[in-house]
Amino acid sequence: MEWWKKSCIYQIYPKSFQDSNHDGIGDIEGIRSRLPYLKKLGVEILWITPMYASPQKDNGYDIADYYSIDPMFGTMEKFDQLVKEAHEMGLKIMMDIVVNHTSTQHAWFKDILKNKDKSKYKDYYIIKEGNQGKTPNNWESMFGGSAWEPLYDGSYYLHLFDVTQADLNWECDELRSEIYVMMNMWLKKGVDGFRLDVINLISKQQDFLDDEISSPKGKRFYANGPRIHEFLKEMNKEVFAHYPCVSVGEMMSMTPEKAVEYTHPSSEEVDMIFSFKHLKVDFANEDRWTRQPANIKEMITILNDWQISINEGNGWNSLVWSNHDQPRVVSRFGSEYEYHQESAKMLATVMHCLKGTPYIYQGEEIGMLNAGLNEINQYKDIETLNIYHERINKGINHEKVMDGIMYQSRDNARTPMQWNLKDYSGFSNVQPWLEMGKRKDICVESALADKNNVFYHYQKLIQLRKDEELLIEGEYTYIESNNDHVWVYTRTLKDKKWLVINNFSDQKENCTIEINEQDKANEVIISNYLDNDLDIHFKTLRPYESIVYNII
Ligand code: TEU
Ligand code: CA
């Protein structure tokens, strides 16, 4: 079995993980000092978001030099030492690589600005003539506004994200080879794999037509574009195939059918994809910035559908509640106060018992919550600031705009990691680059001191996945329970069967579980309440109750 199927991936957002030199910004030394904590939790792969040299307009997703570490995080020597120590402790390192675009501060782009039409790098980016003094087409940036920015002499470059993130031209053979050489360099150094940022956007349909259908405009012409499979097969052959590495494609506009095409072993593209469909069930009218109560039934339907289709197609799933672009999961689908611990544990159990590779985003393991920042000037995220101005300019009132931002802003997940009850939660001795979240009582030190804390629940789930082949290879089956707030499923391997019951509601919920009449439970494997009976056919579940039974 591939090693990454068994492992749990922990995502580190370095800027906000641990500051070692007290400049308010997390760094490599900080990560290194916390390896024992991560080891204790039991995770096996550390995915670290970009630490390459960057002007940090999009917190490192705007890379200026793929070959160097940003001084704010440390040096290449420090990075090598981190990899070495992690390996000595049995931890693997997954790099985050951004090859859909570079920063406009990258040497290639700067060469174009300097040498204009003489630059040999003009073909590395997507540069088009304007359309009678206007942009080449009507495509929009994911962060708001046009996706085109004037270059010089009436031409424009494409940027699907910020204006400082210029899209690379994957049609250019030379560009592709340079990217593969660079990726090989990191693997030679000893890193264990890549998370590939927005990788299914790299192949653009070449006629660059106007678009009135997708949102943002243009998306259907580049998401899963015409040459995407060809490019990924080439990347696999040129890079991944030479190392026992893991490759995770972050992809938007995904369906399970498409996911199978990318992850089926015979496709030889990527090992798994990271996608978001189930994390849109609290958007009103598909507008991320206007919230509605989460539609749990829809979420269960989506996740269930992915489990079934991916397994049937022999692909592989990523199991994800949160990352650095998403609000905190407990704020979103759980309870911030009364049932904080119960709901955080339930959410953990649901994900970790599904088939796939689970991800934990830093702080999730202690149930960290949304930031609670209510002034726009407390926000740093470029997307949030752009959206704020765009919406205010459209005449939407400030309170309504802030309501959406407080709930959805990416900064919700980016406030510094809370280690202890000291100033700045032990993240730093000085005011951090982004304000601390409002709920300072939730921190690692308090979590570790309480044997019933959600931290130990995650620890136990991670260990269960190491010990029980059933959780890795076992078949997933949906079980009817006649209650929309409840998700029941089984995992089966040979003659072993586990029943997983989860209540997503903050109320007591009754349900009839449509499992075989003769099935009986003989053991509770894990639960978020201490006293469970062994009845598995009819249950009155307590708020956010979650139980895993062994079935005989
Ligand atoms: O994210 C792309 C993505 O799929 C979105 O979640 C995105 O963050 C945004 O919310 C769309 O409106 C990746 C990175 O994870 C993100 O941090 C970067 O900003 C983005 O790509 C560009 O590199
Ligand atoms: Ca620092």
**Residue nearest to ligand 1 atom 14, measured at CA:** 197
Calculate what percentage of the chain has a pLDDT beyond 90. 98
Residues with CB under 6 A from ligand 1: 58, 61, 98, 142, 161, 197-198, 252, 324-325, 383
Number of the ligand 1 atom closest to the C-alpha atom of 142: 12
**Residue nearest to ligand 1 atom 15, measured at CA:** 325
Q: Which of 198, 251, 408 to mutate to test the pocket of ligand 1 (most atoms within 8 A of CB)?
A: 198
- For residues 474-484, average pLDDT: 97
- How many angstroms does the Cα of residue 213 sit away from the middle of ligand 2? 45
- How many angstroms does the Cα of residue 473 sit away from the middle of ligand 1? 31
- Kindly tell me if the per-residue pLDDT of 308 is higher than 90: yes
CA separation for the pair 379, 33 (Å, rounded):
28
**Residue nearest to ligand 1 atom 23, measured at CA:** 61
Number of the ligand 1 atom closest to the C-alpha atom of 162: 22
Read off the pLDDT of residues 99-116 as tens digits, 9 standing for 90 and up. Answer: 999 999 999 999 999 999
Q: Whose structure tokens read 């970009």? A: 50
CA separation for the pair 474, 493 (Å, rounded):
5
Q: Which ligand is nearest to the CA of 16?
A: 2
CA separation for the pair 6, 464 (Å, rounded):
10
- Confidence label for 46 from pLDDT (cuts 50, 70 and 90): very high
Read off the pLDDT of residues 352-386 as tens digits, 9 standing for 90 and up. Answer: 999 999 999 999 999 999 999 999 999 999 999 99
pTM confidence score: 0.98
Number of the ligand 1 atom closest to the C-alpha atom of 252: 4
Calculate the alpha carbon distances from 23 to 4, 72, 490 in Å: 35, 9, 49
Check residue 125 and report its DSSP letter: B
- How many angstroms does the Cα of residue 531 sit away from the middle of ligand 1? 42
Pick from 351, 365, 472: nearest CA to 7: 472
Which pLDDT does position 350 carry in this prediction?
98
- Confidence label for 535 from pLDDT (cuts 50, 70 and 90): very high
- Confidence label for 152 from pLDDT (cuts 50, 70 and 90): confident
- How many angstroms does the Cα of residue 324 sit away from the middle of ligand 1? 9
Mean pLDDT of the chain: 97
Catalytic residue numbers read 197, 250
Q: Which of 142, 274, 384 to mutate to test the pocket of ligand 1 (most atoms within 8 A of CB)?
A: 142
Read off the pLDDT of residues 414-457 as tens digits, 9 standing for 90 and up. Answer: 999 999 999 999 999 999 999 999 999 999 999 999 999 999 99
- Kindly tell me if the per-residue pLDDT of 286 is higher than 90: no
Check residue 172 and report its DSSP letter: -
- How many angstroms does the Cα of residue 327 sit away from the middle of ligand 2? 24
- Confidence label for 147 from pLDDT (cuts 50, 70 and 90): very high
- For residues 527-548, average pLDDT: 97
- Confidence label for 499 from pLDDT (cuts 50, 70 and 90): very high
Kindly report the three-state secondary structure assignment for every residue of 39-104. HHHCCCEEEECCCEECCCCCCCCCCCEEEEECCCCCCHHHHHHHHHHHHHCCCEEEEEECCCEEEC
